[in-house]
Structure 1
Amino acid sequence: MSIANWTLLHPSAFILVGIPGLQDFHTWIAIPFCSIYIVSLLGNCLLLGVVKNEPGLHEPMYLFLCMLAVADLVVSTTTLPKILSIFWFRDRSIHANACLAQVFLIHSFSTMESGFFAAMAFDRYVAICNPLRHAAILTHTAIGQIGLAVLIRGAVLLCPHPILLKQLLYCRGNVISHTYCEFMALVKLACADTRASKAYSLTVAFLTGGLDFIFIIVSYILILRTVFQLPSKEARVKSLGTCGSHVCVILITYTPAFFSFLTHRFGHTVAPSVHIIIANIYVLIPHMMNPIIYGVRTKKIRERVLYVFTQK
């Protein structure tokens, strides 16, 4: 293969278009994007600081919430600075290696978020269905082991993604119609047989997000069965109240994630701008809303945050 052909089929950089059809509005779209990113950074960092400095919050639910906050920070920081540089400074070029690193970080830490949601569902299941053994089952050692298992699963299963992309020939050019590097967006530029790559991606998605979602559903079915067997209405309301924040963040996270995943693979009639806006909502809104929802709905966190600000 000649040097010219090698360079053409293995580009040293990719071009990120942004949101196709809305390029004239990028400057204005960047304003809410930037605002949401700032709120996400402040909210998650504040949550981490509050839990770290308050011994009373060193419980399984809050420790898993901190792990989720770290994953939120990684995903949003991996994507938003580059998106803002595209929108405000027209800096659309991204080095190939940086693009592959972005693919790995986005997909691996999104997978970790799914695992932390499942861990939080398990915590709620034990707390409600087997409260007397909650402290014995979810010790700090067990929590650390669960967090480490989620971390290793996300890193190991998603590590082949950039390797598979590195081996492809990009005969359809190096222009990505997206605001960030995404696995399927790069696969669509390849002219080689990508069935193996797509099959692996689908398999990993089912073994992580799919199984996690099934586990969460089963956990809440068992939780509801136990709650509705409680003798008093007050006890039922109190038990369900401890799950409300978790259910809210799951709905906010999984809804755009599933839509983005399905439209990228099967939604050929969906307008590209609609798909990319939903994909951006996935890396924006949940990571901002998670600390807000838990801060507003969780009494211990709310009181501690108010205490911090009133003392200052």
Structure 2
Amino acid sequence: MRPASMPSTRLTLAYIGVGLMGGPMAARLVARGHTVRAYDVSADRLAQAVAAGARPALDPADAVSGANAVLLNLPTPAAVEQAVFGPDGVAQVMRPPQVLVDFSTIEVERCRAFAARLVARTGCAWIDAPVSGGPPASADGKLAVMAGGPADEMERLAPLFTDISSAFTHVGPTGAGLTAKMVSQLMVSCLYVVLAEGAKLAEQAGIDVASIPACVSGGHADGELLRQIFPRFAERDFRPRAYTRQLVKDMHMVKELADTAGAPTPMMDEALRLYDRYVALGGSERDTSAILELYDHDAQPRHAPA
């Protein structure tokens, strides 16, 4: 379900966490006419958000005044808990009909526990709304948003979701959006590894990596992710669009959920083993596509044909 579009409605939004993903999303919302009060623990990131038109807040609680919704985009569950329930957290001042929308990727059960705490303390609803698509899609309003929480709150915040996404799905109750994100991250992490493996085979076998997207265009191996990252492979352009450490964090969450659900994940287990190795070699701050560097590390010299 996608909420009905209400393009004439402009919202006042508190935005906590304006980093690699949150920064472009906040700037997009400002550009679409919404009022954004932003906070980030990094003064540099906050300054960038202010330069894009957001108004600065002193702390999470300070951002909440007058907001229709409080938006979170934070790197870890601990950061989410601190921003919501800490001494300067938003729960100190939130009151209905304000609603919290968490774009962060955290554990499903922890999300449900946080939501219950927020309702008990403030009476405000919690929507888990993790996103997929990366910084370019966030800047262009073309994210995929998968949401869990009350349907009436989704409808009320339709202008928000319409302006940041090209695909919005209300998956179900609280935690359902994050469950869908875990499925997405399982598939994406395996794809990164498979694409890196294909790129390295192409290189070692003597063909141009940059030619592969054209070679498979329209075929079964074609896909958006391949078209995005094979040019990066060819140039070894691994400036972070998404950090490897964040993907690895998500993969460990996927594994925890899969173990609880009794779902086998042999392919992702191997992908996680490879990413853990890459992090151990120093790749945590590199782009998620930089897993190719592990294949560079492991590659053997080419053998001349017999």
Normalised by the size of structure 2, how large is the TM-score? 0.31
Greater helix proportion: 1
Greater strand proportion: 2
Q: Whose relative contact order is higher, 1 or 2, with alpha carbons under 8 Å and at least 6 apart?
A: 1
